[in-house]
Chain A
């Protein structure tokens, strides 16, 4: 018990500071708190009537509750900055945050933290939607973060932080700062052949007839990937440069889907479609034999 008490005391930061010759209160605040604006806190904390402090004066310094209050204030400021301008209770939250800042300036750190939390809760309540996001890491460690819904997520790398809002994605290469967030690609909408359709194709001399798969183009797509799954056989992934693809197919049943791709992202796959390919029966050959005079 005693040893833990002693350890705790050891870990404490200095609780007092002595004012140096020619030092103003703002300079003391800069030296001890790292912030000239902390002068008002020192003033309140030490019951000073003005900013004049004589050299050699011992001033009481804030305790660890200051850092906690600072943290709550930062969180509340960020939440308010991100909240929709028309969000309900935004004004109330702003007033609460102002109140928290005033408490902080007067060194009432517990009250400041409480008010800041109150402000944060008011705006956070407007974003009650679940927060969903995905993180994908490839073999090289390259990370792709997609924010799907709810509050933005923060992506930090190499000292740079990007907020990623719902619907945006960010790619981070190992050892580099995150790319600027960009809107994700939409999933393509298949148009041809119609779902569950039965196609009749003329047998080709090469053995397989071509079927055209088509979909609506997606803005921002640099290409597409078609996934084709025959009822019998292995799945194939086929690249396409444009919003349609001609594929030689043997008779049989197929399922397919398509996704848009760009340099840094891939869309979700489209809804899966199905179709059947049947070869048209060969046309009867009408042979007429001309009588000949040959004997």
Chain B
């Protein structure tokens, strides 16, 4: 069975690698899958003062609400005197200080665990991982990348 599949793959894909002569019928292209729906990465809590959220697909800054879900590529902004708590799905907590701008970055799945990524463009965040043996957090800034928790690989 396996060898039959391999033979079929060879026959089907062989022409792709060397190109098709004009008189041959081209092999139907393999369509890329449709974009997956946005993945819920975190939740906004402990809102203080003026906190706004910009969705990945939107251009407008919306007033944040307690318990609001955050998705990949969403942005959160606080003004002077404001603050918020971002609770990630894996339990990592990031406290966002005032006058800050952060983005929820895309998450690359790892076998057996989740990996959270956060981009801090301005301001200060205080991160806390209750169980660093199982949690991880990667914070990127314009100058550096900060990695903490389980998925640390130092090569």
Chain A residues at the B interface, C-beta cutoff of 8 Å: 3, 5-7, 9-10, 68, 71, 74-75, 78-79, 121, 124-125, 127-128, 130-139, 141-143, 145, 150-151, 153-157, 161, 163, 172-176, 178
Contact = CB atoms under 8 A, between A and B. Distances in A.
Contacts of A141: 141-143
Most buried by A among B5, B120, B132, B155: B132
B123 A137 contact: yes
Contacts, number: 122
Interface string B122-154: 111111111111000001011111111111111
Most buried by A among B12, B122, B139: B139
A145 B142 contact: no
Given A124-B132, A151-B148, 13 more contacts: A3-B31, A5-B5, A71-B153, A75-B151, A132-B128, A135-B125, A137-B143, A138-B122, A143-B143, A145-B144, A150-B129, A154-B147, A157-B145
Contacts of A175: 143
Interface of B: 5, 9, 12-13, 30-31, 111, 120-133, 139, 141-155
22 contacts: A5-B5, A6-B12, A6-B30, A74-B154, A75-B152, A75-B153, A121-B133, A124-B133, A125-B133, A127-B133, A128-B131, A128-B133, A131-B149, A132-B128, A134-B126, A135-B141, A137-B120, A138-B122, A143-B142, A151-B148, A155-B145, A156-B146
Most buried by B among A9, A71, A153, A174: A153
A175 to B, nearest CB: 7
Nearest to B30: A3
B144 A132 contact: no
B124 A136 contact: yes
9 nearest A-B residue pairs (beta carbon) = A141-B142, A136-B124, A131-B132, A172-B144, A157-B144, A153-B148, A174-B143, A143-B143, A143-B141
B125 A134 contact: yes
B140 to A, nearest CB: 9
B143 A154 contact: no
Contacts of A178: 144
A135 B143 contact: no
A135 B133 contact: no
B149 A151 contact: yes
B149 to A, nearest CB: 6
A145 B148 CA distance: 12
